[in-house]
Amino acid sequence: MTTLDQSFVTNGTFKADLFKGKVVFITGGAGTICRVQAEAMVLLGANAAILGRNQEKTEKAAREIEALRPGARVVACSNCDVREVTQIKEAVDRVVAELGRIDFVIAGAAGNFLSDFNHLSSNAFKSVIGIDLLGSFNTVKACYDQLKKNKGAILFVSATLHYYGVPFQVHVGAAKAGVDALSNALAVELGPLGVRSNCIAPGAIAGTEGFDRLTRGVDLKKQIPLQRYGTTRDIAEATVFLFSPAGTYITGTTQVVDGAQWHMGFKYGEDIYPVGLTKMLNEPSKL
């Protein structure tokens, strides 16, 4: 089911056909946040390619996104693991053959779960680093020639978890800190080619897989200065801005979209931290 519709264009901030003739390439494009990023770009005139490992989910999402705008084309690249750069390169070649070009890249494939350090295995840590950080590197690597040719723009989907110490998120915090560093370095290296690189860092975005998994039903709104959860549309709006002509001099930055939550710190209930964590750390360690 799509989240956005034509009202995003008719009643929104951005004009129709803003991205006409452009193509956006999105890893994790069938997921909750990246899917709405794809919807926004397509509604505003772009064609798109979404990558995912689940064939049924990816192809279904592509059909639904394509139906948002008459004449839109959305390519589903399924069974694609971002940890394998050759698989992404095959997808890139297919997209260029079918859609003609790639102008924008969103590296959004990610993995996350709650785990304390004691129960976080080395393989689990490696898996998250592989999907989030190595996958982001591989995505840009595979798209490099198209980005250079079209003076394109990159947007990494990061987080705020590494801005301060967040328990149960060692793996994700380390991965996203690497993503931020990758984006900053690429902004400097690729800037002379006319290629821009930025991050977007969502906060508590309601209705997403990560939100449901991480909050576990705890009401966090009182911890957010704006006193509400974010929406996927909030992320879509920021994405469009950074890719639009309004953002052509913005590179090497991280756009935090979290209602200023990270300034408050993340507070678990006492039964989770520190009491619950202390119990878990005293259990036998998992390698």
Closest CA to 114 of 168, 66, 160, 63: 168
Residue 1 forms part of a structural domain = no
| Contact status, residue 211 vs residue 205, Cβ threshold 8 Å | yes
Q: Which domain holds residue 110?
A: 7-256+267-281
Predicted pLDDT at 89: 98
Active-site residue 176, yes or no? Answer: yes
Predicted pLDDT at 227: 95
| Contact status, residue 41 vs residue 270, Cβ threshold 8 Å | no
Tokens linked to 75: 């390519």
Considering the candidates 78, 115, 136, 158, report the single residue annotated as catalytic: 158
Distance of CA 194 to the CA centre of its chain: 22
How many distinct structural domains can be found in the chain? 1
Predicted pLDDT at 1: 65
Predicted pLDDT at 219: 84
Neighbours of 215 (CB within 10 A): 14
| Contact status, residue 182 vs residue 139, Cβ threshold 8 Å | no
| Contact status, residue 201 vs residue 230, Cβ threshold 8 Å | no
**CATH, residue 95:** 3.40.50.720
Q: How confident is the chain (287 residues) per 10-residue block, as mean pLDDT? A: 85 92 96 96 98 96 97 97 98 98 97 92 97 98 98 98 92 97 98 98 88 74 94 97 97 98 82 82 85
65 backbone dihedrals φ, ψ, rounded to 5°: -70, -40
Predicted structure pTM score: 0.94
Residue 262 forms part of a structural domain = no
Active-site residue 158, yes or no? Answer: yes
Residue 287 forms part of a structural domain = no
Residue 61 forms part of a structural domain = yes
Residue 286 forms part of a structural domain = no
Considering the candidates 22, 115, 136, 176, report the single residue annotated as catalytic: 176
What's the chain's Rg over C-alpha atoms?
19
Predicted pLDDT at 273: 82
